[in-house]
């Protein structure tokens, strides 16, 4: 089960209390305070893990707690610090306060560590409070208590290329042919119910990550079909590949393209400036050669990379993969603190982008 949103409760460890203690040693006529400090509580730390692409594993637990710091002891013995709670999350995870919606953290890199809640500081022992006028303090400081907080996790997958198209356009078949991903493939619409990721290898030793999201239809921004819930997973992609169904009835190619661009625009108009390409799939069972040529002429005029492929037979896939790899290399997105990207502006015609 693919999970890209969830709530959880976290609580860093409270600090240990300081100790009230006095020296009691033989042949020492005048003892003194020797209470040690309490240990610090363990933090709650989120760590990015490139091996994860879903929040599913985290749903097995609803509460994550850091260990409490140990209390101080006599003989100036410092309490042990609490063990931090380390939570592995997929890259692209956004952490927000569940009540206020405030952005707490964003994990974008593999191995990136972010302290979501810091553990409480340990209290000072009575030895710390000894002065010239108060040589035997009979009090110590309590450790700082930490209250649990409720947070919400949102996942925006980090991929290089995203496949965007109508249901049944062949996106799942395509990603299964060009990568090791094995999504469910069938002949009915909305077979894909959650994003799929696959690693595509090209030019021998190079590779890029491709994401296949559930199909879009006209009116997705208003909630039709699966809506635009999964479009956030392509907000960080460098390249969008609009996959069109070449076997669809008359008048579908240009309409599909325009609908896709419009729905993307409604979701996030900045994404229209992303590098993108157009591929017509199912040319082995093409409905209209004239429409295909018309689409090709349009893309050539607008300087849009255009491909004719068949995910079933493999025709045109090598050229498509190599070209996508070059587009990925030429487009380097910059992640902002708010969870969006500022990609390089495409060299494709801006007047067309503004129109659609």
Q: What is the CATH number of the domain that holds 54?
A: 2.70.210.12
pLDDT recorded at residue 188? 40
320-324 contacts, C-beta under 8 A, 24 or more apart: 320/178, 320/279, 321/178, 321/200, 321/202, 322/202, 322/203, 323/277, 324/161, 324/200, 324/202, 324/208, 324/210, 324/239, 324/241, 324/277
* 129 and 240 belong to one structural domain: no
* 293 and 336 belong to one structural domain: yes
pLDDT recorded at residue 224? 54
Q: Tokens 């400081």 sit at which residue? A: 141
pLDDT recorded at residue 249? 75
HSE-CB of 137 using CA atoms within 13 angstroms: 20
Q: Are 78 and 119 in contact (CB under 8 A)?
A: no
pLDDT recorded at residue 235? 78
* 141 and 29 belong to one structural domain: yes
* 169 and 147 belong to one structural domain: no
Where among 134, 155, 176 does a domain terminate?
A: 155
Strands 161-165 and 239-245: parallel
In 3D, which of 88, 51, 47, 62 has the Cα closest to residue 9? Answer: 62
HSE-CB of 319 using CA atoms within 13 angstroms: 11
pLDDT recorded at residue 74? 92
* 169 and 145 belong to one structural domain: no
pLDDT recorded at residue 85? 96
Beta strand spans in 81-172 (E): 85-90, 93-97, 103-107, 113-117, 149-155, 161-165
Number of compact structural domains in the chain: 2
* 58 and 128 belong to one structural domain: yes
Give mean pLDDT in consecutive 10-residue pieces for the chain, a chain of 356 residues: 84 96 82 93 94 85 94 95 95 92 91 95 95 92 96 86 85 86 51 69 83 68 55 79 84 84 82 88 86 92 93 91 89 49 37 36
Residue 217's domain comprises: 161-355
How far is it, in rounded angstroms, from Cα 269 to Cα 59?
33
How far is it, in rounded angstroms, from Cα 33 to Cα 20?
7
In 3D, which of 131, 138, 134, 122 has the Cα closest to residue 21? Answer: 138
pLDDT recorded at residue 219? 54
In 3D, which of 41, 42, 94, 260 has the Cα closest to residue 164? Answer: 260
* 129 and 236 belong to one structural domain: no
* 201 and 147 belong to one structural domain: no
End-to-end CA distance of the chain: 35
Where among 116, 136, 155 does a domain terminate?
A: 155
pLDDT recorded at residue 351? 41
* 70 and 216 belong to one structural domain: no
In 3D, which of 45, 54, 59, 48 has the Cα closest to residue 6? Answer: 59
């Amino acid at each position: 089960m693919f999970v890209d949103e969830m709530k959880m409760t976290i609580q860093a460890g409270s600090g240990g209390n300081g100790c009230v203690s006095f020296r009691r040693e033989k042949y020492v006529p005048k003892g003194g305070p020797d209470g040690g400090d309490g240990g610090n509580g363990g933090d709650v730390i989120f760590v990015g893990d490139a091996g994860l692409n879903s929040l599913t594993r985290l749903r097995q637990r609803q509460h994550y707690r850091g260990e409490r710091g140990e209390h101080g002891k006599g003989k100036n013995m410092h309490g042990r610090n609490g063990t931090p709670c380390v939570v592995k999350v997929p890259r692209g995870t956004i952490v927000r306060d569940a009540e206020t919606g405030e952005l707490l953290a964003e994990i974008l890199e593999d191995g990136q560590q972010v302290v979501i809640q810091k553990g409480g500081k340990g209290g000072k022992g009575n030895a710390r409070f000894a002065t010239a006028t108060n040589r035997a303090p009979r009090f110590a400081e309590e450790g700082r208590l930490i209250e649990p907080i409720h947070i919400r996790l949102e996942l925006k997958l980090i991929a290089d290329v995203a496949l965007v198209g109508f249901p049944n356009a062949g996106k799942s078949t395509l990603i299964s042919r060009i990568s090791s991903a094995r999504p469910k493939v069938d002949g009915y619409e909305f077979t894909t119910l959650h994003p799929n990721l696959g690693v595509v290898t090209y030019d021998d030793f190079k590779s890029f990550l491709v994401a296949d999201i559930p199909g879009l239809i006209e009116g997705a921004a208003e909630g039709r079909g699966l809506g635009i819930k999964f479009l956030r997973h392509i907000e960080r992609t460098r390249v969008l590949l609009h996959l069109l169904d070449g076997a669809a009835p008359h008048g579908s190619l240009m309409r599909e393209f325009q609908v896709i661009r419009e729905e993307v625009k409604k979701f996030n108009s900045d994404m229209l400036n992303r590098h993108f390409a157009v591929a017509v799939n199912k040319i082995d069972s093409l409905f209209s050669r004239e429409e295909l040529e018309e689409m090709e002429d349009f893309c050539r005029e607008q300087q849009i990379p255009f491909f004719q492929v068949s995910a079933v037979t493999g025709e045109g896939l090598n050229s498509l993969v190599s070209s996508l790899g070059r587009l990925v290399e030429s487009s380097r997105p910059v992640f902002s603190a708010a969870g969006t990207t500022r990609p390089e502006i495409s060299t494709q015609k801006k007047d067309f982008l503004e129109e659609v």
